[in-house]
Amino acid sequence: MILKDKSVLVTGAEGFIGSHLVEKLLSLGANVTAMVKNNFKEDVGFLSSIPMNEENKINICMADLNDYDAVKEITKNKDVIFHLGAEISIPYSYKHPRTFVNTNINGTLNVLMAAKEHLVKRIVIMSTSEVYGTPDTVPIKETHTLKGQSPYSATKIAAEKLAESFHLSYGLPIVIVRPFNTYGPRQSSRAIIPTLITQALFKDKILVGNTKPTRDFNFVEDIAEGLVKVCEKDELIGEVINIGTGKEISIGELAEKIIKLTGSRAAIETENLRLRPEKSEIMRLCADNSKMRDKTGWTPKTDFETGLKKTIDWIKENPNHFKIGVYQI
């Protein structure tokens, strides 16, 4: 499927990955509708960071994923849906799991039902590498067992299974994507890399949780490109696919790298508040990306150090986006 001139809906479009995906779709000539969570400030999030001109316009619709009538109306006459809208904070999911059930499960159900009603031609469901839990084997293949080690990951597993059931039961043309950890400009300090960078730049110590877990970090523009490539391949309908670099780094090593790149003299300290429950902590995440590479030709373009430097520069230019040193969940 070629996305130029297609009518494309992106849910969660105001967010970190969503805004970069919208920007990528606009560059390809897609007609983009951005679904933004309704709020009294009419805040469109990071969509405001995208340069606009006569040929580069977004149709912004404010609605809640839990409102089926609104979702149904917005999905009318759409060729493609990228479903990124979700509650994503793992620490927040420990405190308020019902919120995650409402948005990540019921919201996904509403998208699937609306897509079925309107005969949408392609639905890309954004999942997460967190569905694997601490893996039995590394690198992690798509066939690995799924483990709900947090309420967040459990709801994403449920959302995946709903999407799978709509494909098998109704022939809905879905693709499930499991991106590994994403970073880059516009990410909030609820994520580890902005948390480390902001403290390295502006504090005399860096407070972290467990430094031993490893993660497979991917620059956000590479993830956006990967989502597009997955959507374009008809043979991936009904499939699950990882997007990741196949490389891992521990949180402790990451902190040291950021200290070096920022020229910081901050000391690294563990803060108990930031630790996950022991059985909920995922100790390793590293993608087997062979399916993605073989099926789409995608490989990451941005090496880790270059991506970190771009992220550091963006944070330096936009310090007001962050509550520096505050543990945000």
Give the separation between CA 77 and CA 61, rounded to whole angstroms: 14
The CA-atom distances, in angstroms, between 298 and each of 1, 205, 212, 239, 275 are 16, 38, 29, 16, 34
Of 39, 149, 135, 161, the residue nearest 93 (C-alpha): 149
Residue spans of alpha helices (H) in the chain: 16-27, 68-75, 90-95, 97-100, 107-118, 151-170, 192-202, 220-232, 251-262, 290-296, 304-317
Of 301, 128, 115, 278, whose CA–CA distance to 212 is shortest?
278
Tell me if residue 92 is catalytic.
Answer: no
Please tell me which residue in 132, 152, 183, 327 is annotated as part of the active site. 152
Question: Which of 112, 127, 11, 107 has its CA nearest to residue 65?
Answer: 107
Taking the C-alpha atoms of residue 184 and residue 224, their distance in angstroms, rounded to an integer, is 12
CA distance 259 to 60: 39
CA distance 255 to 243: 23
Give the sign of the dihedral formed by CA 225, CA 229, CA 231, CA 237.
negative
Which residue type sits at 266?
A
Alpha-carbon span 54 to 66, nearest angstrom:
33
Cis omega (within 30 of 0) on the bond before 139? yes
Q: Answer yes or no: are the C-beta atoms of 288 and 246 closer than 8 Å.
A: yes
Hey, what are 117's tokens?
A: 């009603």
Residue-wise DSSP of 263-288: T--PEEEE-GGGPPPTTT---B--B-
Active-site residue set: 152
